[in-house]
């Protein structure tokens, strides 16, 4: 079993729902003795038990992961420390390792985290064994690069995703990439597939940089942290590994669909409203 804190979570749910151990055991289909034995050895808890317990809690309105998000932010987001979230397709096996990620991510290989729970969960909803990590990050002494939704960010995303091969020797691109070298971590807007489609339209010369910027602003998902060096990884502490039940995933999936529909409408309006303003890709990098 993964390192979920189910025994502690059971106590939280019992308190919030005013349930006894026998009632919780009955709800998830185990004996009270089994429930008590978990206190002695959590490794005996099977996947079906995890699913049953966390699913029951979510259906009854207990948002354990949101509660933990708020509590951790209250405790750790003081001074320079920041609480971040990492959605994993399965679990983190061993120590954090930059080289395990794909090279064609937004900023190449790195360890990626989001600023809030929803951001991170949305990227792993389609994986049956996905989970969530809550993380404390201390940036003291690290070299930071920050992007906003602007032309430099658009070009950086396109470059690292392999869409600027014909322009990679231009002075604009060379200067941009040189500005990232030696950086420990990047803070930048999250680019999902919808955003990349818009950036692709810019790279293909279909829209200008101004059109692209306003279209991307309409689909804003918040910021991500991209850790690029071992030094940066050394200042990350995993606070807790959290279970994602199917009920919680479906909840965020429904919420995400509504957000997508609103964003698509905003993109259509922005694309039309800023038509003809700004410069096309070949004008910028020639």
Q: Whole-number mean pLDDT of the chain?
A: 89
Q: Of the candidates 244, 273, 280, which has an alpha carbon nearest to the alpha carbon of residue 121?
A: 244
DSSP letters for 52-69: HHHHHHHHTT--HHHHHH
Q: Token match 């089994």: residue?
A: 34
CATH class for the region spanning 1-62: mainly alpha
Domains of the chain by residue range: 1-62, 80-285
Q: Poorest-confidence range of 117-121, 146-150, 169-173, 255-259? A: 255-259
**CA distances (Å), 189 to each of 119, 129, 157, 180, 273, in order?**
11, 26, 10, 16, 23
Residue 101 predicted with pLDDT over 70: yes
0.85 exceeded by pTM? yes
What pLDDT score was predicted for residue 268? 80
Residues 227-239 have pLDDT tens digits of 999 999 999 999 9
What pLDDT score was predicted for residue 111? 95
The 10 Å Cβ neighbour count of residue 45 is: 20
What pLDDT score was predicted for residue 273? 86
């Amino acid at each position: 079993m993964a390192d979920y804190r189910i025994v502690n979570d059971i106590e939280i749910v019992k308190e919030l729902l005013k349930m006894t151990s026998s009632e919780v055991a009955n709800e998830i289909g185990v004996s009270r003795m089994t429930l008590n034995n978990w206190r002695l050895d959590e490794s005996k808890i099977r996947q079906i038990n995890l699913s049953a317990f966390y699913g029951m809690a979510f259906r009854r309105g207990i948002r354990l992961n949101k509660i933990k998000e708020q509590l951790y932010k209250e405790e750790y987001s003081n001074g320079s420390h920041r609480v971040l979230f990492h959605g994993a397709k399965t679990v983190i096996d061993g120590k954090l390792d930059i080289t395990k990620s794909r090279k064609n991510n937004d900023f190449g290989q790195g360890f990626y985290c989001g600023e809030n729970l929803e951001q991170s969960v949305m990227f792993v909803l389609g994986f049956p064994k996905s989970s969530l990590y809550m993380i404390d990050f201390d940036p003291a002494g690290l070299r930071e690069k920050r992007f906003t939704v602007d032309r430099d960010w658009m070009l950086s995303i396109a470059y690292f995703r392999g869409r600027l091969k014909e322009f990679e020797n231009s002075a604009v691109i060379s200067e941009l990439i040189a500005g990232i070298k030696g950086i420990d971590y990047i803070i930048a807007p999250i680019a999902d597939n919808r955003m990349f489609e818009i950036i692709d339209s810019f790279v293909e010369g279909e829209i200008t940089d101004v059109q692209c910027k306003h279209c991307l602003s309409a689909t804003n998902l918040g910021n991500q942290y991209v850790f690029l060096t071992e030094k940066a990884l050394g200042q990350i502490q995993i606070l807790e590994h959290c279970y994602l039940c199917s009920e919680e995933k479906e909840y965020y999936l429904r919420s995400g669909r509504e957000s997508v529909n609103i964003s698509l409408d905003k993109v259509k309006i922005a694309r039309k409203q800023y038509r003809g303003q700004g410069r096309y890709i070949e004008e910028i990098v020639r």
